[in-house]
Amino acid sequence: MTYLKGVSPDQLRRFSQDTLSELILPLEKVADEIQEARKATKQSTVWCLTDPRDLEPFRARLVAVSSDARLKRIPTTHEKRYHDLLLATQDLYYSAGYIHDIYSAESVSFRKKAYKKSLKEWKEARKRLQRARDYFEKASAPNYRPSAG
């Protein structure tokens, strides 16, 4: 990743708007789809409800979004929240992996553990996404001025 210093307010605003539309909104959509897939397990009580390969499109989109995100030039003022987005992508990827474990596990106890881990990762991802969304929505406002911190 490349970090930039001395970015104009207009460039910061544009970067924030692009981050909202190109990263946050797609990640929120994937998070909602992962939540639906996890709900379909009926709290891990359903075994092999669907083909676990149905989760591969989620994971592929997360990898694609993450790869694109790493190629961007990031203003240093937005570095912390942008990093939150990358961590949210990782959390969602792990959550989808645990759902795969729910579908493929034979023991009930393992399915329950995988369900709990999936839910934990998903909740953490949603928190990070919400913090990033709040920040980048504020930063894309016309009157936004970055703080000195």
**Looking at residues 94-102, what average pLDDT do you find?**
87
Higher pLDDT, 80 or 103: 80
Structure tokens at 83: 């990093």
Residue at 45: amino acid letter: T
Which residue is associated with the tokens 């034979």? 106
Residue ranges per domain, the chain?
Answer: 8-43+52-139
Backbone phi and psi for residue 74, each to the nearest 5 degrees, phi listed first? -105, 125
Structure tokens at 137: 């929505």
Least trusted range by pLDDT, from 6-20, 38-52, 55-69: 38-52
**Looking at residues 30-44, what average pLDDT do you find?**
82
Least trusted range by pLDDT, from 2-16, 45-59, 113-127: 45-59
Contact criterion met (CB below 8 Å) for 72 and 83: no
Cβ neighbors of 136 (< 8 A, separation 6 or more) are: 16, 17, 19, 20, 24, 78, 81
Contact criterion met (CB below 8 Å) for 15 and 7: yes
- The pLDDT, as a whole number, for residue 149 is 46
